[in-house]
Amino acid sequence: MIQIESVTKRYPDGTTAVDDLSLEIPDGSITVLVGPSGCGKTTTLRMINRMVEPTSGRILLDGSDITGQPVNALRRSMGYVIQNAGLFQHRTIVDNIATVPRMLGWDRRRARDRARELMARVGLDEALARRYPYQLSGGQQQRVGVARALAADPPVLLMDEPFSAVDPIVRKSLQGELLRIQQELGKTIVFVTHDIDEAIRIGDMIAVMRTGGRLAQFAPPTELLSSPADAFVEDFLGTDRGIRRLSFFSSDGLELSKGPLVAVDADAEQVARSAAAGAPYLLLTDAEGKPLGWVAAQDAAGGADKVAVGRLLPFGRPFAAGRESLRDALDCAVLSPTGWAVAVDGEGKAVGVVSQETIGAAIRSAHARHEGAGGTDRDDFTKAGAAT
């Protein structure tokens, strides 16, 4: 555990970067420091590995003051990942990753073996081992940065805006990769970002900081979204925090109706039975059960085999039942021309459909459940789902 106790950082010119900050960073989880530029989040991170020394207050690592430890030994026990990866351009990828093990006195072969192991862990092709940083894309370089930080298996990982310089698609995949690695390794990660969406996606705990280096709120993401401490936090979260909070509610409990599912070779009698269930639209599925599209119940009265597949209404994006969140389900329903979302299983086969009304009811009951539990717990499925 990292304990930050009343830490202040004031520079000689009078600016206060961090002002009387106290935080308890729990072990084995991701704590995100987030806030606008100039809020002291990077300074706070850099005080943990003593790249910056606090003016007053103290930081404890597993109960002992970090100023009592030799500074380089302390830094070697903490992985450090920075914005542009900061790779050594004169060293190959494998030697970049092997940096800290080599500093710790491992022999070259062992350090390189370890580096190759980590390349696999962060999803880098082994063929890149002998390449140089300039031959890699920004996203690949950042993966190398993460692998390098993990090389000596430090219990703590400090990450300073590690994914800010890559494009949104690569950033999303790197976030997913980090969550997957974290599930396997369970490090104590302190992650700095200015992007609240990133904070909500990856953080177990989020510390929102405001300009002047003061802590505005320290809470798990669901609590942050449901009950922001003040107007600053609310404003920082943006206008759609209600919708975003749905990311933390599983679509597991959604009541799916199978009635409107009709196979493409169904005859008039089967169609009539489905239509009788009361749904205005029927979802046609192919021989394997994968969705094809929507058809109005009366247009299919003569049998599904008579319907021209080319004239079906598109079914949009389906959601993975149970694995994706209520936010995904709602999004699918909103995008669907019929107002009904299509739920599929892992193989893409339709398992049911659900209306906006049903999703709305599920949202209300999920809210009631979370308020009742104090609003602090969270469904851990989302992170698992996001990582896959």
CA pair distance 361, 251, nearest whole angstrom: 12
- From the CB of 86, what's the least distance to other proteins, in Å? 3
**Assigned token pair, 154:** 């430090």
Instruction: Please say which residue, 133 or 203, places its beta carbon nearer to other proteins.
Output: 133
Q: For residue 156, which of 65, 7, 40, 29 has the smallest C-alpha distance?
A: 29
Instruction: Please say which residue, 49 or 250, places its beta carbon nearer to other proteins.
Output: 49
- From the CB of 340, what's the least distance to other proteins, in Å? 50
- From the CB of 76, what's the least distance to other proteins, in Å? 4
- From the CB of 118, what's the least distance to other proteins, in Å? 14
| Burial class of residue 188 in the structure, from the number of CB atoms within 10 Å of its CB (0-12 exposed, 13-18 middle, 19+ buried) | buried
Q: Are 15 and 176 in contact (CB under 8 A)?
A: no
Q: For residue 226, which of 214, 212, 243 has the smallest C-alpha distance?
A: 243
Question: Contact positions toward other proteins, by CB under 8 A?
Answer: 49, 51, 71-76, 80, 82-92, 99-100, 103, 132-135, 145, 148-149, 158
Instruction: Please say which residue, 88 or 380, places its beta carbon nearer to other proteins.
Output: 88
Instruction: Please say which residue, 134 or 184, places its beta carbon nearer to other proteins.
Output: 134
- From the CB of 78, what's the least distance to other proteins, in Å? 8
Q: Give me the phi and psi of 101, to 5 degrees please.
A: -55, -40
Our CA dihedral for 111, 116, 120, 124, rounded to 10 degrees, sits at 120
**Helical segments of 156-279, H only:** 168-185, 196-202, 221-226, 231-237, 241-245, 268-276
Instruction: Please say which residue, 152 or 332, places its beta carbon nearer to other proteins.
Output: 152
- From the CB of 103, what's the least distance to other proteins, in Å? 7
**Assigned token pair, 249:** 């509610």
Query: What is the Cβ-side half-sphere exposure of residue 194, based on CA atoms within 13 angstroms?
Result: 10
Instruction: Please say which residue, 16 or 83, places its beta carbon nearer to other proteins.
Output: 83
